[in-house]
Chains A and B, each alone.
Chain A
């Protein structure tokens, strides 16, 4: 029997959920408002910001004139797509072997990979910075792609491992009995069945790489600087420029927000894949 829920409880729950959702979304909404204000209007009292001032595109123009948005944008695209692609190249075979030919160390290896995510990144900043300096990788897109790939690799492998695990081993054995080579088995049987999982892995990884701020800010200056660096440059020693900072933020998060919006169904399906049989 379905659990009975009174209408009043439903209304109350909906109201609470709506309020919480709004609370979480509010900072982004506020940035959106500030982006369309002049610098003087942006620092006024909140109600005056909303109702007592006009709207302008001025900040966007200034930001674009001062720093090259498209350069940062293309750096972000290259770094997030590149790190995701490289990550998949390593993670698919790794997850395949752990899911289908596990050894007694598989569990430990997975746990060890997860544990690397618990390390505060700043703890290894100095050694990695020095390595990058010596290898002349500082402020290069290649270097950044490699770092982001390595940082997100545990997550990609874990996600793919979970999806592969869901595929019944007998189906792959059937393919083997049907005369499929390892290549054919992966290409014609495993991959089509794992596509929903792979798609959400790719989406999530692109988002993570796009939003990654610690390494992208610390290892780049101008040439390879992605959009995170682009935002940061508006919170500078010369003072905070709220309107320009907001405009830059809107420009930086808009692409990934739109992508996330369109792919959220896929993302949710992929992330809950296997939770329910």
Chain B
């Protein structure tokens, strides 16, 4: 079981309120990602759930019991830190066994669980090494091993992949997703990377300045962002926002259109001059100037498209994919 409920939870450091009162429900077995720009309070929120920080007001229930005053050691949650936070003076084996030793578990059961975790995470060959003798990816696995052995009610991940290089990050992302499918345990994952959020989450919680902007499945957020912040944060490249006459034409203060929902060609309602083109092979991103709409306007074309710097280009937005926002930036249905 790993159902977590936050009721009117807030956090202040001195006079600074970093998280105004918020409510959040996390279901058992769910993979929830907290995402937002740095300083949005996502790590603080995770640390409140972990018990590493005390809430200023409100309460946190874990599996229906009030855990607000319960110390982190007794909450039954496991955490993987950004810096891995391995114990440098202990071997991999002892690192993984540490939570079991703290739980005063039987020696034979400890050995069994450590061996099992090590084999699941491909650490068997390194079991007697110290953390300093391991690569970044291996250290990350040890940190995960230390979390899974005790079979916690929920896993908390605090930007676990940000210290890894890009290739390793994609691999570990898959491993964590697979781990979630296999264990079926609640996972709460903090990241500033919207790609990680989109690819891993069952449910994304978008935060800005301590406030929850929207909660929903990755595709919900992609299709129907509640406001301009979520619309701009989810999706890559970023959504184009167009204000003024073009917005009013659609009965809105501003409209948003994703780069992949604009077709390029030699005719179309919008016109501009091609600036930088980024060729990815599978796609081409054009940054288009002098459209009179937004500068630059980003467009994504499938495959290789033959427009070069300085060419005139015509654009056709897909009408059914246009998002409309009012003056406050809130979505108009």
Contact = CB atoms under 8 A, between A and B. Distances in A.
Given A173-B52, A174-B79, A179 B99 contact: yes
Interface string A232-258: 000000000000000000000000000
Interface in A208-234: none
Nearest to B74: A179
B85 A171 contact: yes
B89 interface: yes
In this complex, the interface size class of chain A, counting residues with CB under 8 Å from chain B, is 10 to 19
Contact of A177 (B78, B89, B103): B78
Interface string B51-68: 010000000000000000
A44 interface: no
A179 B87 contact: no
B42 to A, nearest CB: 16
Interface of A is mostly: helix
Contacts of B72: 173, 176-177
Contacts of B52: 173, 176-177
B150 interface: yes
Given A177-B77, A179-B99, A180-B102, A193 B89 contact: yes
B71 interface: yes
Interface string B67-89: 00001111001110111011111
Contacts of A188: 98
A170 interface: yes
B71 A174 contact: no
Contact of B98 (A168, A173, A178, A193): A178
B50 interface: yes
Contacts of B287: none
B146 interface: yes
A188 B85 CA distance: 14
Most buried by B among A168, A170, A181, A193: A170
B81 A179 contact: no
Nearest to A172: B85
Nearest to B82: A170
Contacts of B50: 177
A21 to B, nearest CB: 36
Interface string A180-191: 110010001100
A179 B83 contact: no
Given A184-B102, A189-B87, A193-B88, A178 B146 contact: yes
Contacts of B73: 176-181
Interface of B: 50, 52, 71-74, 77-79, 81-83, 85-89, 98-99, 102-103, 146, 150, 156
The 9 closest A-B pairs by CB, nearest first: A174-B85, A178-B99, A179-B102, A170-B85, A177-B79, A192-B89, A179-B73, A176-B72, A171-B85
Interface of A: 168, 170-171, 173-181, 184, 188-189, 192-193
